[in-house]
């Protein structure tokens, strides 16, 4: 199919007798584009990768073999007295991206990804760069002078704005040229048939130091690049497709898709990313919904040199029915679900070590009554060939089932391949197994019954080994309290909690909380949490932990007492008992007074009496 387009342009800013006409004929035949202006013509052929520029009897044949490319010292001379330079070679323009990296957007035979309202249109056709345009309507142009080949102005003075450019793969709508906007095809700027680029745009300042692929590096008067419909490449794209530095995000690292940000919903173009508050699936962390006031993702760069998992919580989370593969036996469950999950964690980001800590279940445990209250199930002996029960929750209600399952999974974890330089630790009963073998004498034998406290021992061991970024995966509030206490004594260590699952998942910065409340309250929180209700201690009737916290903060002398009892709970002195008794009196009296004050608001005597009692007890 052959299409011919004739465009008659009249630049009538001269005397009518000196009328200046340009006839541009664009003919697309098979795999070539012919552009002629009077006796001047440009032939762009995809098959031979050549450009023929002729004017009268003179002609220039631009071929891949004789073209001059950009060097490490910077771009070549653009728009010299002899016309646009020859910059592209047989492999496309200099700095073309390879197949191993971002898609090739600049090759003469491949289209680029250009963003538009209807999606990414094709801007660089398979036949030749752009559509071979010429200026149709230039307002405020003093004159077009020194037109070289193909109708491209070498020097535009007094250009108010370039509007409705039909040719040149470039600037469509520059209002006062204070920003680059609505770039329909970034293959350079206006009329880059040989990839030279404009020599001097006075209102822009200067587009200077163009690096590979025609992307502006330093725009003095632009401020910022906005509304880029076609991102050929900005300055220093790490993985191609996004700005290097956005103000309120810090830096978008590890972008893996050209032309857009990685896994951003509804991101059809790069626009107004200054207030981006979350990135999904960054470094395999799931969704960073709550960054605890970080504001910048740079602080997460070293997040997770060590990952510590509560094995029981992990098993509850990894239900066999949620696996994409068919799981029939416990051998399938270990090989297709648990081991691949741990392997992914070992290969994430900066992770160098993974610890999986299991609970132990004893018949004389103080938690035996609590466990019985969760219900009963059918005992099952777990082996590699044992069928996985349909009711996973009922299976996990039986302590003997969990004991045998945890033992089976601990052995299975020791059979998995470990990347070089990384370590996997897993526990069962009092033993700690390490792959590859390492010194674990400081954390075994261990008599901790609960994984909650045993994980803190592993965190301290990792800290002693030189790790300074630790993430503990858990779902129990006890772990949060313990982590805050540990963070207060681990100077320079970022202690993170990957807390919860699904819609309730969040990252909690235990080290930040410990710094905010101080070391005394960080350790005293252990006793406060215990005395106000935990797994082995009954809660205070009718009084929540927030109330307990506020009363504790209102009695400064209790900080030292709670701190002492958190360190040495077996050493309770008479003074400690007196302070604890005073604390409970104030706690119950304050709650009782608050309730009656609002209940008997119609009686002035009652209100006054209770308020006085409240004040008096606080003074004790």
In CATH terms, the fold of domain 306-521 is Rossmann fold (3.40.50)
Q: What is the pLDDT of residues 209-256, one digit of tens each?
A: 333 334 443 333 233 333 332 333 333 333 333 333 333 233 233 332
Q: In whole angstroms, give the CA distance from residue 118 to residue 508.
A: 41
| Mean pLDDT for the stretch of residues 440-459 | 93
List 165's β-bridge partners, or say none: 135
Q: In whole angstroms, give the CA distance from residue 151 to residue 191.
A: 9
Residue 72 and residue 52 in contact, taking contact as beta carbons nearer than 8 Å: no
Q: What angle do CA 84, 85, 87 make, to 5 degrees?
A: 130
pLDDT cut 70: percent of the chain above it:
44
Q: Does position 265 have pLDDT exceeding 80, yes or no?
A: no
Q: What is the pLDDT of residues 370-424, one digit of tens each?
A: 666 555 678 899 999 999 999 999 999 888 899 999 999 999 999 999 999 999 9
Domain locations in the chain as residue ranges: 306-521, 539-618
Q: Does position 528 have pLDDT exceeding 50, yes or no?
A: yes
Q: What is the pLDDT of residues 473-488, one digit of tens each?
A: 999 999 999 999 999 9
pLDDT at 535: 80
pLDDT at 608: 40
Q: In whole angstroms, give the CA distance from residue 545 to residue 541.
A: 11
Q: Is the four-CA dihedral 46, 50, 51, 56 of positive or negative sign?
A: negative
pLDDT at 369: 61
pLDDT at 366: 67
Q: In whole angstroms, give the CA distance from residue 89 to residue 49.
A: 8
Q: Which of 297, 222, 306, 219 is nearest to 262 (CA)?
A: 297
Helix, coil or strand: residue 432: strand
* Nearby residues of 13 by Cβ (< 8 Å), 6 or more positions away: 141, 142, 143
Q: Does position 208 have pLDDT exceeding 70, yes or no?
A: no
pLDDT at 362: 76
Q: What is the pLDDT of residues 279-301, one digit of tens each?
A: 333 333 333 444 444 444 444 44
> What phi and psi values does residue 341 have, to the nearest 5 degrees?
-65, -45
Cis peptide before 445 (omega within 30 of 0): yes
Q: Does position 538 have pLDDT exceeding 70, yes or no?
A: yes
How do 431-435 and 494-499 pair as beta strands? unpaired
Residue 522 and residue 485 in contact, taking contact as beta carbons nearer than 8 Å: yes
pTM of the model: 0.51
pLDDT tier for residue 349 given thresholds of 50, 70 and 90: confident
Can you give the three-state secondary structure of 60-96, one letter per residue? EEECCCCCCCCECCECCCCCECCECCCCCECCECCCC
pLDDT at 105: 32
Residue 543 and residue 535 in contact, taking contact as beta carbons nearer than 8 Å: no
Helix, coil or strand: residue 213: helix
Q: What is the pLDDT of residues 56-92, one digit of tens each?
A: 333 333 333 333 333 344 333 333 334 333 433 334 3
pLDDT cut 90: percent of the chain above it:
29
pLDDT at 557: 84
Q: Does position 570 have pLDDT exceeding 60, yes or no?
A: yes
Q: Does position 567 have pLDDT exceeding 70, yes or no?
A: yes
Q: In whole angstroms, give the CA distance from residue 342 to residue 99.
A: 31
The two three-digit tokens of residue 49, written as one number: 């990768």
Q: Does position 492 have pLDDT exceeding 80, yes or no?
A: yes
Helix residue ranges per DSSP H, 14-140: none
Q: Is the four-CA dihedral 7, 12, 17, 20 of positive or negative sign?
A: negative
> What phi and psi values does residue 313 have, to the nearest 5 degrees?
-65, -35
Q: What is the pLDDT of residues 150-187, one digit of tens each?
A: 344 433 332 333 333 333 334 433 333 333 333 333 33
In angstroms, what CA-CA distances link 388 with 312, 319, 341, 397, 402? 17, 10, 18, 15, 13
Least confident of 86-90, 334-338, 458-462: 86-90
Residue 151 and residue 37 in contact, taking contact as beta carbons nearer than 8 Å: yes
- What is the pLDDT of the chain when averaged over all its residues? 61
| Mean pLDDT for the stretch of residues 124-139 | 32
Helix axes 604-618, 574-599, angle to 10 degrees: 160
């Amino acid at each position: 199919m052959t299409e011919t387009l004739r465009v008659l342009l009249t630049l009538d800013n001269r005397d009518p007798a000196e009328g200046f006409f340009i006839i541009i004929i664009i003919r697309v035949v098979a795999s070539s584009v012919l552009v002629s202006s009077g006796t001047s013509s440009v032939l762009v052929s995809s098959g031979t990768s050549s450009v023929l520029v002729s004017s009268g009897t003179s002609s220039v044949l631009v071929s891949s073999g004789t073209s001059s490319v950009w060097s490490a010292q910077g771009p070549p001379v653009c728009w010299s007295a002899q016309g646009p330079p020859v910059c592209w070679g047989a492999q496309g323009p200099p700095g073309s991206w390879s197949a191993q990296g971002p898609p090739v957007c600049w090759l003469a035979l491949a289209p680029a990804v250009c963003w538009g309202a209807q999606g990414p249109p094709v801007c660089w056709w398979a036949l030749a760069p752009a559509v071979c345009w010429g200026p149709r309507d230039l307002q405020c142009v003093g004159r077009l002078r020194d037109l070289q080949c193909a109708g491209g102005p070498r020097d535009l003075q007094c250009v108010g704005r370039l509007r409705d450019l039909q040719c040149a793969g470039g600037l469509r709508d520059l209002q006062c040229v204070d920003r680059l906007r609505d770039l329909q095809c970034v293959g350079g700027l206006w009329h880059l048939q040989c990839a030279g680029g404009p020599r001097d745009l006075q209102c822009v300042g200067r587009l200077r130091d163009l690096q590979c692929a025609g992307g502006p590096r330093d725009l003095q008067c632009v401020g910022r690049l906005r509304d880029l419909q076609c991102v050929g490449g900005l300055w220093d794209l790490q993985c191609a497709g996004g700005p290097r530095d956005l103000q309120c995000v810090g830096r978008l690292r590890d972008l893996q898709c050209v032309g857009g940000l990685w896994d951003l919903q509804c991101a059809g173009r790069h626009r107004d990313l200054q207030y981006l508050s979350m990135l999904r699936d960054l470094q395999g962390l799931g969704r960073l919904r709550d960054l605890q006031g970080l504001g910048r993702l740079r602080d997460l760069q070293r997040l997770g040199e060590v990952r510590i998992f509560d094995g029981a919580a992990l098993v509850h989370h990894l239900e066999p029915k949620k696996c994409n593969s068919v799981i029939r036996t416990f051998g399938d469950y270990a090989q297709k679900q648990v081991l691949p999950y741990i392997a992914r964690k070992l290969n994430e980001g900066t992770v160098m070590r993974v610890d999986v800590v299991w609970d132990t279940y004893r018949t004389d445990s103080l938690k035996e009554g609590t466990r019985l209250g969760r219900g009963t199930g059918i005992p099952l002996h777990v082996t590699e060939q044992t069928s996985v029960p349909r009711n996973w929750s009922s299976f996990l209600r039986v302590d003997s089932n969990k004991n045998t399952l945890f033992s089976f999974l601990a052995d299975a974890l020791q059979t998995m391949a470990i990347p070089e330089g990384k370590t996997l630790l897993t526990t069962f009963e009092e033993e700690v197994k390490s792959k590859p073998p390492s010194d674990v004498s400081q954390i075994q034998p261990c008599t901790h019954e609960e994984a909650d406290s045993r994980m803190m021992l592993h965190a301290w061991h990792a800290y002693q080994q030189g790790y300074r970024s630790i993430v503990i995966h858990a779902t129990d509030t006890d772990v949060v309290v313990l982590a805050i206490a540990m963070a207060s004594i681990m100077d320079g260590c970022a202690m993170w909690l990957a807390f919860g699952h699904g819609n309730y998942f969040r990252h909690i910065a235990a080290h930040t909380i410990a710094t905010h409340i101080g070391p005394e309250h960080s350790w005293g929180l252990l006793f406060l949490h215990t005395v106000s209700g935990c797994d082995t201690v009954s809660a205070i009737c009718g009084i929540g932990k927030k109330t307990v916290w506020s009363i504790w903060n209102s009695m400064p002398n209790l900080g030292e007492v709670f701190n002492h009892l958190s360190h040495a709970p077996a050493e309770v002195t008479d003074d400690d008992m007196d302070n604890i008794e005073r604390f409970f009196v104030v706690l119950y009296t304050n709650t009782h007074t608050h309730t009656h004050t609002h209940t008997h608001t119609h009686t002035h005597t009652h209100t006054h009496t209770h308020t006085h009692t409240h004040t008096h007890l606080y003074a004790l």
